[in-house]
Amino acid sequence: MKNFDIIVIGGGPGGYIAAIRAAQLGFNVACIDEWKNSKGGPAPGGTCTNVGCIPSKALLQSSEHFEQAGHHFAEHGIGLKDLSIDVPKMLARKDTVVKQNNDGILYLFKKNKVTFFHGRGSFVKAADGGYGIKVSGAAEESLSAKQVIVATGSNARALPGAPFDEELILSNDGALRIGGVPKKLGLIGSGVIGLEMGSVWRRLGADVTILEGLPTFLGAVDEQIAKEAHKAFSKQGLKIELGVKVGEIKTGKKGVSIAYSDAKGAEHKLEVDKLIVSIGRVPNTNGLNAEAVGLQLDERGAIVVDDDCRTNLPGVWAVGDVVRGPMLAHKAEEEGVAVAERIAGQHGHVNFNTVPWVIYTSPEIAWVGQTEQQLKAAGRAYKAGTFPFMANGRARALGDTTGMVKFLADAATDEILGVHIVGPFASELIAEAVVAMEFKASAEDIARICHAHPSLSEATKEAALAVDKRTLNF
Ligand code: FAD
Ligand code: NAI
């Protein structure tokens, strides 16, 4: 039996960051993760590193280069003959990027003296004011600790009657491994994965149709921003059908056939070579043996935690996708850090009001704080200011003028309540808004700050000025 101060089960962004922070705080820490690379070796980093954030961004980058070369280089006077895409090479690059991240985490474990176990971690029993944990994998180990952090993540949700085979019906895993550009690609769910993966394969030449159950596009996004994004995606040729009801899904030699009714009730059949199902994710507690210690789960299978990530068991904490809240890597990381600090008697804190969201499409969509529709529903008096990238010099020079920055501020105090961006590098621009909101800045604070020229960030300053109806360049 090996004894540790803290055992972390799961080595995704929630788990591996919790382990590193706990080790920094002087604890003797073990992290157990079962993810295997193609050779059966350890591949820490979880969904995010292996089949999520990192590989999807690698493919978005490759496909965006292809799109630029095919459609936009000419306007710069750059001529190309025989443009082609080598999909296996693109996938190999993506795999290299993933491996660099896996290796980086193993290096960080060594550097911080975190003991890593490759295998499945499961509860055995509560004993001596702590917990016995079994590691099953290449080698079996028995561990114990007074504190356990569960960070076992989530899995893709399948449609009833259409299990993932990762050949024709794909989860995010298969969607990141398609070996050649499909002629026709179908997706169910126009959420974050649907839009990102749909964009990758559309840019590479697939005819992409996304079937979405809800009548509104990106319902959680500020309506004005979602409308602008929808317009841009439609112009690019991404077909998005809203308000559909998906019926029977059949696979055959020719691909996948999806029966569905549209928003008006008319029946259709969509025939595609491959189908990606991206209808959300479910918390993963498979193999954790939660019952052995009475760890409480909710009806969705998520581990029940309080605001501080405490479970119903003393000394057992849970973070990331396996608990409530947005399923985002940076949210998981912040919770991991906060829990390690709480175990050390510090006051770890996560501000859920300032967790940013980014959708890495082109244009990118990013936001933090409340949307206009949320403020209206809450009856909060607010002022809005927008600034279009069309009027920004850097955006014109980049040749990417789609979209806008939008500020929402309290009508009386001018405190920033939400910032919403659709446009180039929204993923980077949103950081300024997060900082501003963390410091409870007013729109005027941002409007008075000197922003470099020419830069996209000037659109942020101008949108803040727009709250007071005094833009300078529009
Ligand atoms: P995970 O990353 O799922 O890690 C859990 C780990 O625990 C896994 O390695 C798993 O194998 C391991 N595990 C589970 N059970 C056990 C056990 N019993 N014993 C040992 N190990 C176990 N989020 C963003 O913020 N930005 C993005 O751009 C982004 N892109 C995404 C793209 C896709 C296609 C997908 C699917 C997700 C994306 N996400 C993104 C979401 C992000 O991946 C998750 O929010 C994040 O990975 C959650 O981290 P986690 O540590 O909670 O869980
Ligand atoms: P999602 O929740 O973003 O979107 C799912 C979509 O599917 C919704 O629009 C929903 O209305 C629709 N849907 C659900 N059931 C349906 C049905 N039966 N028929 C038709 N439509 C249906 O989930 P998604 O895209 O699977 O991603 C999962 C999570 O992974 C995201 O919520 C996010 O937390 C994370 N993620 C984050 C990324 C980022 O930060 N850039 C990128 C990709 C994923």
- 169, 181 contact by CB (below 8 A): no
Q: Of 220, 192, 228, nearest to 405 (Cα)? A: 228
Q: Which atom of ligand 1 is nearest to the CA of 175?
A: 34
Ligand nearest to the CA of 263: 2
- Give the number of C-alpha atoms closer than 13 A to the C-alpha of residue 450, restricted to the C-beta side: 1
Q: What pLDDT, on a 0 to 100 scale, did the predictor assign at position 361?
A: 98
- For position 102, what pLDDT does the model report? 98
CB 320 within 8 A of CB 12: yes
Q: Whose CA is nearest to atom 12 of ligand 2?
A: 189
Residue 367 Cβ contacting ligand 2 at under 6 Å? no
User: 179 in the Ramachandran plot: left (φ > 0), alpha (ψ -120 to 50) or beta?
Assistant: alpha
Domain 169-279 has CATH 3.50.50.60: yes
From CA 319, how far away is CA 13, in angstroms rounded? 10
Triad 392, 393, 397: Cα angle to 5°: 120
Pocket test for ligand 2, best of 193, 212, 260, 284 (most atoms within 8 A of CB): 193
Residue 356 zone, left/alpha/beta (φ > 0; ψ -120 to 50; rest): beta
pLDDT of residue 127: 86
The 10s digit of each residue's pLDDT in 419-442 is 999 999 999 999 999 999 999 999
Give the mean pLDDT of 13-25: 98
Residue limits of CATH 3.30.390.30 in the chain: 355-467
Measure the CA dihedral 391/393/394/397, to 10°: 110
- Backbone phi and psi for residue 258, each to the nearest 5 degrees, phi listed first: -120, 120
Q: Ligand 2: does its nearest atom lie under 6 Å from the Cβ of 188?
A: yes
β-partners of residue 9 are 32, 150
Q: What is the pLDDT of residues 179-202, one digit of tens each?
A: 999 999 999 999 999 999 999 999
Alpha helices by DSSP H, listed for 314-442, are: 329-343, 372-378, 393-398, 426-438
Q: Which two tokens stand for residue 189?
A: 């769910």
- Measured in Å, residue 74 CA sits from the centre of ligand 1 at 40
Q: Is 6 helix (H, G, I), strand (E, B) or coil?
A: strand
Main-chain dihedrals φ then ψ at residue 77, nearest 5 degrees: 85, 10
Q: Does the structure show a pLDDT above 90 at 219?
A: yes
Do residues 155 and 163 touch, judged by C-beta distance below 8 A? no
pLDDT at 128: 86
Any ligand 1 atom below 6 A from CB of 191: no
- Do 187 and 335 form a contact (C-beta atoms < 8 A)? no
For the chain, the C-alpha Rg in angstroms (whole number) is 24
Res. 221: pLDDT tops 90: yes
Q: Which CATH number does 355-467 carry? A: 3.30.390.30
The closest of 350, 321, 325, 345 to 335, measured between CA atoms, is 350
- Pairing assessment for the beta strands 154-156 and 267-272 based on DSSP bridges: unpaired
DSSP-derived letter for residue 192 is: H
pLDDT tens by residue, 109-168: 999 999 999 999 999 999 889 999 999 998 899 999 999 999 999 999 999 999 999 999
Name the closest ligand to CA 358.
2
Q: Among residues 71, 72, 268, 453, which one is catalytic? A: 453
Indicate which residue's Cα is closest to atom 23 of ligand 2. Answer: 280
The ranges of the chain annotated as CATH 3.50.50.60 are 2-155+282-350, 169-279
Q: Measured from the CB, is residue 237 less than 6 Å from ligand 2? A: no
**451 catalytic, yes or no?**
no
Separation of alpha carbons 232 and 230, rounded Å: 5
Whole-number Å distance between alpha carbons of 54 and 101: 8
Shortest-distance ligand to the CA of residue 249: 2
Per residue in 334-374, pLDDT (tens digit) is: 999 999 999 999 999 999 999 999 999 999 999 999 999 99
What is the topology classification, in CATH, of domain 2-155+282-350? FAD/NAD(P)-binding domain (3.50.50)
Which tokens sit at 282? 């479910």
